[in-house]
Amino acid sequence: MENFCAYIGERTRSKGNSILFRVDDPSEREVAWNVFEQEMDATACFLKSCQIQEKDKILCLVSRPLSWLKLFFAALKIGAIPIVGNFRDRFFLQGILSENSPAYVCSDEEKELEPFLSSSSKVILLNDFASLEKYDIYALKDADDILCALYTSGSMGKPKYIEKSYRNLITELQFLKNLLKMQQDDVVLSLVPNVHIYGMLFGLLLPIMAGAQAIYTNCLLPREVMKIARDKNVNFLIGAPIHYQAFIETNDPDQKMSHLKLAISSGGPLPARVAQKFFRLTGVNILEIYGSTETGGIAYRLWDGMVDSPSLQLFPYIEKKIEAQSEINELVIQSPAISSNVLMAENRGWHHTGDFVRFEEGNRFKIVGRQEQIMKVGGKRISTTQLEEEIKTIPGIKDVAVVRMESSSYRESGVAFVEIQENANLIRSEIQKEFQKRSANYRSIQDIIILDKIPRNPNGKILYSHLRINKTNPKIGMIIPTYNHGLILRKVVLSALEYISDILVVVDGSTDNTMEVLQNLPIKILAFPKNRGKGRALKTGFQEAKKLGWNYAITMDSDGQHKAQDIPQFLKAISENPEAIVVGDRNMELPSIPSSSKFGKKFTNFWLKVETGLSIADGQSGFRAYPIHSINAVHSWFNRYEFEVEILARSAWKGIPIISIPVQVDYHPEGKRISHFRPFMDNFRTTILNTILVTIRILMLVHGLVKKVIRKVKASCKV
């Protein structure tokens, strides 16, 4: 059955006049299985009468969903290749005509066809054909022949052309059908157009395979969507992250969608905050699909309110390639669902996703970063190198670096840093205008900044991450407290400078060569005449950060145990959780970690739980990010190592959220590493701290209880 139309034929016989597809827009329309089959057949006859042959490409310029559907399936039925997409972009037609001129262009509106009249493609106007001829032949194709092709959305830049074979689609659909347990009486509501691979798979082909009813709506407002979901007893909701974000911000008391079994999100990363709140409001889990138009779905995770941030689970038919023996790898995959024209273009047989992941047991993983040069824009990847090339063609530009900005929105964009030729007199707005004229990707650049010089390292490599921090708004700096780590300190600071340009080193009365090794570095230094403790150093650092106008400070130890490569993770966590203290959770499973540290971590976490009721993954970690304004308002008593535990407890009591992110840790084999943490004395001092904190906590609880009792007594007196 290598032709999806056969499913329609089969279901027509079993489901007859029940609804197959409904369009919920102001002019609501619906079509039953049997009527749809007739109309599809009539369209197939019409296409045949236009001399369209098997394997001919038909560009589908139909925008009305029902007409689109008929054309799409009729084309499949006769074995032609429908090319679909959202064709509204001014650069789009040029692109198609030059790169990929299709044999036929088909529309139901005459004016859509005008641009093609002078091209080599034959234009076909879809008439209202009254004939209801049967068309009984299903074109037989090989599973690897191209079935259809998609252009990725053009509204954010140059569309990509992606071919899909039957094997590409059916591999994923069969898995999804089991994963979602979609039944033949289910109702699926899709907010994603069918011309998007995600909408096509989940909102159209999957329901057709399962025999479910598919509803498509282009309603925007969450209230309207919820109303449809309620009125039509919708079981599955297909949306993009922005849809769920809009849902949770609506705050509608009438949000119960009682038939909804599962919500699905794809097309961009779903913020944890959105998934968790959606679950709290509706009680419905969100199944998040990670993938792209090129690959289809790659992995999934279920936001069921049980885990703060679940790991992604690789689809079972996807093979991964681990290229290096390191903890973090680029996700490189092979799968029958990847488009062959994509694999062929990559010429390696493996698809490089550009995402860096950390694998866990059972083919689970977490995404920890992305190749510097890849931006994700609405489910599509744009390379910053390509944007750089495009900007370089503007006369007067000497050098350019495009930096991807961390963004919580589904639509990433970059900032272009440009260096102007000496004799040229270009200004920013002129560059913008020129770029807009010559590039289809102009919306992927949110800002252009002129620099005297693009920073490059001694080997001539652009220091992208350095540029990125320059642009971060709010301002984020780094505080490195240090005491007698002269041997490694310079290396630590240099590695951090690769990622962050504002660094404050607080020298806590070091007696070694610390001040020497800090010479000629572009950093700020505060020095205590004698050792006053890490806590005091940090507190002084926070005060200074406020004076420097920083909004956040990332703190990092100076002994080399933390990796500067983790800094981008903190930036991301800050942008997603602007109120929170972010604590880097050190992976303590490595054999090189001294057992005294492992004990310290567990010991601290136990007490923190008693004191705050919070489970903090690593309460002793010094690799953290603090929001400056709120941290300066938290009072603390302790000035040494205990400070870092104390500040967490006190912040938690003040209602400052505390979140953990995984970080790498590098403990040098014992002896080589110089730690000033004295296992006995410092754990002893920590015990004193904990005693005090627990006492305060108990007093707070008792106080709360007493208040409650008083209130109750008062209330009962009134009665």
Comparing CB distances to other proteins, the nearer of 166 and 410 is 410
- Judged by CB under 8 A, which of 132, 221, 515, 633 binds other proteins? 221
Residue ranges in 360-379 that form contacts with other proteins under rule CB under 8 A = 378
The site that binds other proteins (CB under 8 A) totals a number of residues, namely 34
Contact indicator for 633, 641 with CB cutoff of 8 Å? no
In whole angstroms, the minimum distance from the beta carbon of 658 to other proteins comes to 26
CB of 337 vs other proteins, minimal distance in Å: 25
**Residue 219: CB minimum distance to other proteins, A:** 5
Residue from 37, 89, 294, 585 touching other proteins (CB under 8 A): that is: 89
Sheet order of strands, 397-404 included:
397-404, 414-420, 445-450
**One residue of 3, 121, 168, 245 binding other proteins per CB under 8 A:** 245
Exposed, middle or buried: residue 103 (CB in 10 Å: 0-12, 13-18, 19+)?
A: middle
- CB 98 → other proteins: shortest distance, Å? 21
- Burial label for 403, CB within 10 Å (0-12, 13-18, 19+), is buried
Contact 186, 235 (CB under 8 A): yes
For residues 248 and 251, what is the distance between their CA atoms, to the nearest angstrom? 6
Q: Which of 574, 560, 522, 520 is closest to 665 using CA atoms?
A: 560
Residues 396-415 that bind other proteins (CB under 8 A): 409-411, 413
Q: How far apart are CA 410 and CA 138, in angstroms?
A: 40
List binders of other proteins among 675-714 (CB under 8 A): none
E strand intervals along 240-345: 262-265, 286-292, 296-303, 312-314, 319-321, 328-334
Q: Pick the stretch among 85-93, 311-319, 465-473, 680-688 that binds other proteins (CB under 8 A).
A: 85-93
Examine residue 218 and tell whether it contacts other proteins (CB under 8 A). Answer: yes
Interface with other proteins, residue 184, by CB under 8 A: no
Q: Between 131 and 429, name the residue whose CB sits nearer to other proteins.
A: 429
> Between residues 23 and 445, which has the closer beta carbon with respect to other proteins?
445
- Cis geometry, peptide bond prior to residue 474 (ω within 30 degrees of 0): yes
Residue closer to other proteins, measured from CB, 48 or 227: 227
Q: How far is the CB of 222 from other proteins (least distance, A)?
A: 8
The reply to whether 249 sits near other proteins by the rule CB under 8 A is: yes
Q: Which of 189, 208, 240, 649 binds other proteins (CB under 8 A)?
A: 240
Q: Rule CB under 8 A: say whether 26 interacts with other proteins.
A: yes
Shortest spacing between CB 64 and other proteins, in angstroms: 15
C-alpha atoms less than 13 angstroms from C-alpha of 652 in its C-beta half-sphere: 22
Cα 468 to chain centroid, rounded = 18
- Rounded to whole angstroms, the Cα distance separating 214 from 447 reads 41
Whether the Cβ atoms of residue 504 and residue 477 lie closer than 8 Å to each other: yes
Report the residue from 88, 134, 392, 711 that binds other proteins according to the rule CB under 8 A.
88
3-class DSSP state of 347: coil
Query: Closest distance between other proteins and the C-beta of residue 202, in Å?
Result: 17
Indicate the angle between helix axes 595-612 and 642-653, nearest 10 degrees. 20
Among 48, 167, 177, 223, binds other proteins (CB under 8 A): 223
Per CB under 8 A, contacts with other proteins among 410-469 are 410-411, 413, 429, 432, 435-436, 442-443, 445-448
User: Cα(438)–Cα(389) distance, rounded to whole angstroms?
Assistant: 11
Residues interacting with other proteins, by CB under 8 A?
26, 86, 88-90, 153, 155, 218-221, 223-224, 240, 242-243, 245-246, 249, 378, 409-411, 413, 429, 432, 435-436, 442-443, 445-448
